[in-house]
Amino acid sequence: MFKRLLISLLILCLLPTAGCWDRKEVNQTAVAIGLGLDSFQQDQILYTIQFPQTEQPGGEGMQSAFVTVSAADDTYTTAARKISLKSPRSILFQHSTVLVLGEDLGRKGLSGLVDYLARNRNIRESADVFMARDTTAADVLSVPTQVDKVPATALASMIKKQDRLAGIYTRTPVSDLTSKTAAPGMEPTVPGIAIVEREKNQKHLELSGTAVFKRGKLVGWLNEEESRGYRWLRPKMVTGGTITISCPVGGEPVLIENIRAQSQIKPEIRDGQIIMHIKVREEGFFYEQRCLHQLVTPEMLPVLNQHIEQVIKKQITLAVRQAQTLNSDIFGFGDALRKKYPGQWAELAHRWDDIFPTIKLEIEVDAKIRRVNLVSQTTRLKY
């Protein structure tokens, strides 16, 4: 008797496991792959969501691989939810890998946005953040790139691929933006994305510059060279990327591929003056030369190494100088100082805006060319 009761109880238990209040049917949802945020009119928010368009079997060609839908309202959430006035399906935010911020919104300040990003459980911390440069996020999300038709997926892979190949910009996940805004002695940066118009109606997207924030507001941009300097100084290992030096003999460009680089920032307070000792260890491969000089010899390698060191030093100096001009501690100098001198940091923190531009640098770069790829001597044409 008891057994039968038990079995019927267990079967009853199965009923609630089949579904619950918070279920979402797949065919009732639309997957958001990219989000865009702009400021709209006075102080409203324009929320743009990009959805992929699936190809209809048997249909005659696709119009576009994606659609973007925008809505404006007073808060981020109501703006996002107003999109349900224009779209019949419930929106799955969890799969959006890209978050584009409009330049206007950045200039006005991210104060409310950071809390929204941290609090909202539908926004993934690993999504990449971009800053629309001289344009709006809604526009960025409506332009396909040259190769990939869907901008959101293209942006997400572009920022990762260029780090290995070109080595210019540093990706910023949502969590970096939020945590660097919250932690003292650190300011976030966000890679920029611009719309380039080559011919009439031939627009495409291109990564361009690094947006620098100060107290949650966009204050300026790092250019390409400065972005490279910023990249060398990031705390994690830098892999991939290129270094262009000039040939010690003729001055033509010579390319070194960076394999791995690691930087260290050590602060020092000497007679009231704050000095940052920056140490970069870099290893690279010799990759390309435009001249025909015999560069890959045991005698020439130390000379090339010195050239690399100089280039990296220059890039870092440029980046720090630009950050000091904008007065934004994007390298976490304040944080490094706090870890080494917790006592002094308590007083320095109040005057950090006055102190940061006066910080001096002592940069030491240790660059080594390890290998020369497939040829050991420069190949020349015989005739």
Partner 1 sequence: MNDRVSTRQAWMMLSISVITSGILYFPTFLMQSSGRDAWLSVILTGLITLPLSILVVLPGLRFPGQNLIQYCGIILGDIPARMVGLVFVFSLLVLLATAVREFTDLLALDILPLTPIVVVASLALLVAGFSVYQGITIIGRAAELIGVLMFLLVATITVFSLPQADFSNLTPVLEKGWQPLLAGTGIQLKLVTQVALLAFILEKLDSPVSAFKAGIGYAITTTGVIFLTVATVQIVFPTEYGALLSDSVLSAIRQVAIGGFITRIEAAIVAIWVSGNFVRFSLIYYLAVSILAQVLNLKDHRSTILPTGLLAVSLSLMMFPNIFRLFEFTTHTLPVYHSIIYVVFFGFLLAVAVIRKKGEPTLPLLKQSYKQMTFELASFVSSVKRVYYSIVMPQPPAS
| Residues at the contact surface with partner 1, assessed by CB under 8 A | 13, 16, 20-22, 118, 121, 124-126, 173, 175, 178-180, 182-184, 186, 235-236, 335-336, 338-340, 342
CB of 2 to partner 1, least distance (A): 11
CB of 41 to partner 1, least distance (A): 31
Phi then psi for 184, rounded to 5 degrees?
-75, 155
CB of 183 to partner 1, least distance (A): 4
CB of 263 to partner 1, least distance (A): 12
Instruction: Note whether 263 and 170 are within 8 A (CB).
Output: no
d(CA 332, CA 327) in angstroms, rounded, equals 12
Instruction: Note whether 17 and 119 are within 8 A (CB).
Output: no
d(CA 97, CA 26) in angstroms, rounded, equals 19
Instruction: Note whether 69 and 83 are within 8 A (CB).
Output: yes
d(CA 178, CA 113) in angstroms, rounded, equals 9
d(CA 131, CA 347) in angstroms, rounded, equals 34
By beta-carbon proximity to partner 1, the closer residue of 150 and 186 is: 186
By beta-carbon proximity to partner 1, the closer residue of 340 and 368 is: 340
By beta-carbon proximity to partner 1, the closer residue of 173 and 240 is: 173
Tokens representing 297?
């010899």
By beta-carbon proximity to partner 1, the closer residue of 98 and 304 is: 98
CB of 332 to partner 1, least distance (A): 9
CB of 184 to partner 1, least distance (A): 6
Tokens representing 280?
């970069």
d(CA 183, CA 332) in angstroms, rounded, equals 10
Between helix 224-232 and helix 300-326 the angle, nearest 10°, is: 100
By beta-carbon proximity to partner 1, the closer residue of 313 and 338 is: 338
By beta-carbon proximity to partner 1, the closer residue of 144 and 173 is: 173
Residue 95 half-sphere exposure toward CB, CA atoms < 13 A: 11
Residue 361, amino acid: L
By beta-carbon proximity to partner 1, the closer residue of 89 and 321 is: 89
CB of 261 to partner 1, least distance (A): 17
Provide CB contacts within 8 A for 128, sequence distance 6+. 97, 98, 99, 155, 156, 159, 171, 172, 173, 174
d(CA 184, CA 129) in angstroms, rounded, equals 21
CB of 298 to partner 1, least distance (A): 37
By beta-carbon proximity to partner 1, the closer residue of 182 and 303 is: 182
d(CA 147, CA 154) in angstroms, rounded, equals 8
